[in-house]
Copies of this chain bind each other. A is one copy, B any other.
Amino acid sequence: MALRERKKLRTREAISTAAIELFVEHGFDQVSITQVAEAADVSRRTLFAYFPTKEDLVVHRFADHEDEPARVVRARPADQSPLVALHTHFIERLRAHDPFTGLTDLPQVLDLYRLLRGTPALMARMLQFNETSERELASALHETAGTPELTARLAAAQIASVHWTLAMSNFDRCASGTSAPKALPTAVKAANQGFALLSSGLAPLWPTTEGSP
C-alpha cells in the first residue's frame, strides 16, 4: 500500500479515535465537530472529507459487520440451511467474544456501546445499518436458497430483528458489569432460544384452542 493510502487510513483512525474518546468522556451532544477536529489536529473541513456526518464518526466502526449475515448465508455448505448456518456462526462468534455479538470485555468497546445506547441519534443510525444488513440478507436468501422474494424479505426481517435483539441483550448484561466469560452460558442459551423461535415459530409460546382466521 502506498504512503498516501496509509496516511489516509491513519488520519481516519486518528479522527475517529479522538472523536470517540471525547464523546465517551463528555457525551455526544456536548462535543462539537470543531472540538473533534482540533483534538485530531485536522481542519474541520478535512474531517468532513473523511466522515459525512457526526454520527458516522462513531458508527463507521460497525460498517464491517453490516453484510456479515449475508456473507454467512452465501458461504454456507450446499447442504446446510441458511438458518443453521447463521445459528452456528452466531454461537461461534459468541464463544470468540466477538463484539459483533454484544458480548465483550474490552472496556473501549463497552464504552462505545454505552455511548450508542445513550444517544438516540446514534441508535437511529444503527437501526439504518440493521436495515441494510436485512436487505442484503434477503438478497442472499433469495439468490442462494431459491426463496421467493417476499418470503425472503419476511424471513430476513425476522432473522435480523432477532439478531439485533440478542446483541442488545448481551450488551446490556456486559454493560451492567457481568464479565464476558460469566455471561457466555446465558448468551448461548438466549441465542439458542432466539434461533429456535425463528426455526419453529411462536405458536408453541401461547397454546390455545382457537385457530387462525
A→B interface (CB under 8 Å): 79-84, 87-88, 91, 120, 123-125, 127-128, 131, 134, 145, 147, 150-151, 153-155, 157-162, 164-166, 169, 190, 193-203, 205-213
Contact of A165 (CB < 8 Å), options: B88, B120, B154, B200: B154
Q: Is A158 touching B161 in the complex (CB atoms < 8 A)? A: yes
CB atoms of A212 and B124 under 8 A apart: no
CA distance in complex: A170, B206 (Å): 28
B91, B127, B162, B208: the one within 8 Å of A127 (CB): B127
Bound form: Cα–Cα A187–B67 in Å? 29
Residues of B with C-beta under 8 A to A162: 154, 157-158
What are 26 A-B interface contacts by the 8 Å CB criterion? Answer: A79-B208, A80-B208, A80-B210, A81-B203, A81-B208, A83-B206, A84-B208, A84-B210, A84-B213, A88-B212, A88-B213, A120-B128, A124-B125, A124-B128, A134-B161, A151-B205, A154-B165, A155-B197, A157-B161, A158-B158, A158-B202, A160-B161, A198-B201, A199-B201, A199-B202, A200-B200
| Nearest CB on B from A103, distance (A) | 15
Name the B residues within 8 Å of A81 (CB-CB): 203, 206-208, 210
| Docked-complex contact B165 and A205, CB < 8 angstroms | no
Closest B residue to A159 by beta carbon equals: B202
Chain B residues lying within 8 Å of A150, measured Cβ to Cβ, are: 169, 190, 193
A150 to B195, CA, bound (A): 13
Neighbouring B residues of A197 by C-beta, 8 Å: 151, 154-155, 158, 201
Name the residue among A123, A125, A131, A206 with the largest chain B CB count within 10 angstroms: A206
A195 contact set on B, CB distance < 8 A: 212
Contacts of A145 in B (CB 8 A): 205-206
What CA separation (Å) do A199 and B198 show in the bound complex? Answer: 9
